[in-house]
Amino acid sequence: MVSAFRRRVLAAVALGVALPSLVLAALGVMLTLRIERSLLNDAVRYNSYLAQLVGESFENELQAHLQQEIQGAESTARAGLPVEDVRRALADAGPEFLGSHFVPFEDIGDYATWPIQGSVVFYAEGAGRHRAHEFYGLLLRDARGDLLGVGGWYVDRVAFLRDHFEHVLQDRLPANPRMYGGIELTRRTSIELLGPGNERVARVREPGDQRTARTEAMVGPFEGFSVKVAVTPDAPPAWTGRFLAFELVFIVGMAGVIVAAVWFGYRYTIRQLELAQMKAGFIGNVTHELKTPIAMVRLAVETLQMRRVQSPEDSAKFLGIIERETSRLTRLVESILDFARLEAGQATFRFEKVEVEPLVREAVETLKPRLDQLGFAVRVDVAPGLPRVRADAQAVSHCLLNLLDNAIKYSKDRREIAVSASPRDGGVALAVADRGIGIAPADRKRIFEKFVRIENGLVHDVRGAGLGLSLVDQIIRAHRGRVEVSSTPGEGSTFTLVLPSAEGVLAEAEAARDRSQHAGGAHGGAAAG
């Protein structure tokens, strides 16, 4: 395994890459948030300013109307005609002015005054007969310039605001010297006039972003009314929100990708280091595995050559050693070659319809002398009527031998092995069960990786290169089957090879061929047509 120090160095390097990118992403997000906030603040300030100007423009509009309408009454007053003539001159008025009214100077104590552009506008709530309307008027002076009284009308404020809304926005507001280039921006603003109960009196355009909405109360003659200004949906502050959301998703996504890339890079490097270490371990292991039988063979041959062996039983024993060790050598070399071929993708299988029973019995028979010698009790159980499997008989037999070899190697005192063949998923399951040391749950996946040998009590006593199960797995996959393992540590393990039936695979292949022929036929037809 990779040392803790190396892991720490690698983790530090990975963090060194991931952290700066996360910090950069966070900076990007912060910058965007600041820009958005400043844009919103500007919009809010502008909207508030615009709302105030709209209110003021209405005051000016009202004053202009009053002045225009009152001209007749004023000239009558200046001409020194009696008050009745002044009243008569007031009677002529615009649609929003209701009844004409004249209040002598002595009676105007309850009136409020509101100066607009140097003129004084009088207004009083509920005065006179028209309790529902407010009275508005201007000062009237006589020929000598003395204050005669107040002349004006009861005004329907809602009607006045509604009637003059467009005009105030289109003419009066742009003519305001403080409006700079503001009218350009009003195209991207929604302006609403709200009544005393917040009901809408008039409006232009649909409001977009409510965060930019600002409501300013109108004062003076229009007290109780208010102007609400917000940006329209197509205004920059409205779409910054959407843009920000998009940008946030993008930045978070990018940060995620970077962190994932660093994580996978880290994992990949650790894996490569582990593989390199396992390969080094494997070479050491294999060297040892090769040297031991060679040494034993040499020793036996030398003993025989020197004729130190007297009895024919002894010479048979040494010949037995030579035979056992050379076959062990052959198995090892074959395993390595098979593995190399599979890794290089050069392994070829000769698939045939194979009877399962003879395959199982032959495999057990091959290892019988060794099993007997080591005192193993072997039970073989083949269910009747099993379907034939589509397999390379030699490769599957190799797998079974590998499993049996492991069952022998990793059994301690309870030397019992059960080999069985039974139907499964329409195919056949070949199982080799032992009552050996078992495999911890955490290792059950790893044991199928190449070069992996588990650090258990037996690994140093038992020979192996860590290739067997990796080979089995690759071979069975090539057969479109799978390898299953179940195990209880200390109780034993069962390895099962699940192989599809020959008929099933053939039917599948035929169906696929039919489909491709069909597709080819249809294609040909279309071309001919």
Return residues touching ligand ADP (CB under 6 A). 406-407, 410, 434, 436-439, 447, 452-454, 456, 459, 464-470, 493
Q: Which CB, 218 or 476, lies closer to ligand ADP?
A: 476
Rounded to a whole number of angstroms, the minimum distance from the CB of residue 489 to ligand ADP is 9
Phi, psi for residue 150 in degrees, rounded to 5: -115, 135
Separation CA 419–CA 427 (nearest Å): 17
Q: Which CB, 427 or 438, lies closer to ligand ADP?
A: 438
Which tokens go with 29?
A: 């997000």
Instruction: Answer for the pair 102, 136: CB distance below 8 angstroms, yes or no.
Output: no
Using H for helix, E for strand and C for coil, what is the string for 21-49?
A: HHHHHHHHHHHHHHHHHHHHHHHHHHHHH
Rounded to a whole number of angstroms, the minimum distance from the CB of residue 449 to ligand ADP is 8
Rounded to a whole number of angstroms, the minimum distance from the CB of residue 443 to ligand ADP is 7
Rounded to a whole number of angstroms, the minimum distance from the CB of residue 348 to ligand ADP is 23
Rounded to a whole number of angstroms, the minimum distance from the CB of residue 249 to ligand ADP is 47
Tell me which residue has tokens 């003129």.
119
Rounded to a whole number of angstroms, the minimum distance from the CB of residue 282 to ligand ADP is 10
Q: Which CB, 145 or 375, lies closer to ligand ADP?
A: 375
Tell me which residue has tokens 């039974």.
422
Q: Which CB, 146 or 455, lies closer to ligand ADP?
A: 455
Q: Which CB, 41 or 488, lies closer to ligand ADP?
A: 488
Q: Which CB, 191 or 472, lies closer to ligand ADP?
A: 472
Which tokens go with 208?
A: 């977009």
Q: Which CB, 133 or 453, lies closer to ligand ADP?
A: 453
Rounded to a whole number of angstroms, the minimum distance from the CB of residue 377 to ligand ADP is 16
Torsional sign, CA 384, 388, 394, 396: negative
Angle value at C-alpha 203, between 199 and 208, nearest 5 degrees: 100
Return the closest-CA partner of residue 408 out of 372, 444, 442: 372
Separation CA 319–CA 297 (nearest Å): 9
Instruction: Answer for the pair 238, 209: CB distance below 8 angstroms, yes or no.
Output: yes
Q: Are strands 416-424 and 97-104 parallel, antiparallel or unpaired?
A: unpaired
Q: Which CB, 316 or 440, lies closer to ligand ADP?
A: 440
Rounded to a whole number of angstroms, the minimum distance from the CB of residue 498 to ligand ADP is 17
Residue nearest to ligand ADP (CB): 464
Q: Which CB, 93 or 439, lies closer to ligand ADP?
A: 439
Rounded to a whole number of angstroms, the minimum distance from the CB of residue 434 to ligand ADP is 5
Helix, strand, or coil here: 146? coil
Rounded to a whole number of angstroms, the minimum distance from the CB of residue 452 to ligand ADP is 6
* CB count in 10 Å sphere of residue 485: 15
Q: Which CB, 435 or 479, lies closer to ligand ADP?
A: 435
Rounded to a whole number of angstroms, the minimum distance from the CB of residue 399 to ligand ADP is 11
Contacts of 355 (CB under 8 A, 6+ apart): 388
Q: Which CB, 62 or 363, lies closer to ligand ADP?
A: 363
Q: Which CB, 219 or 336, lies closer to ligand ADP?
A: 336
Write the DSSP string, 451-485. Answer: T----STTTTTS---S-HHHHHHHHHHHTT-EEEE
Separation CA 79–CA 75 (nearest Å): 6
Q: Which amino acid is at 306?
A: M
Angle value at C-alpha 139, between 135 and 142, nearest 5 degrees: 135
Quick one: angle between helices 393-409 and 356-373, nearest 10?
30
Q: Which CB, 47 or 406, lies closer to ligand ADP?
A: 406
Quick one: angle between helices 83-90 and 4-78, nearest 10?
130
Rounded to a whole number of angstroms, the minimum distance from the CB of residue 446 to ligand ADP is 8
Using H for helix, E for strand and C for coil, what is the string for 295-359?
A: HHHHHHHHHHHCCCCCCHHHHHHHHHHHHHHHHHHHHHHHHHHHHHHHHCCCCCCCCEEECHHHH
Rounded to a whole number of angstroms, the minimum distance from the CB of residue 462 to ligand ADP is 7
Rounded to a whole number of angstroms, the minimum distance from the CB of residue 380 to ligand ADP is 17
Helices (H), 79-192: 83-90, 157-167, 173-175, 182-186
Which tokens go with 523?
A: 């294609």
Torsional sign, CA 194, 199, 203, 207: positive
Separation CA 259–CA 19 (nearest Å): 9
Return the closest-CA partner of residue 433 out of 477, 385, 484, 397: 484
Q: Which CB, 300 or 433, lies closer to ligand ADP?
A: 433
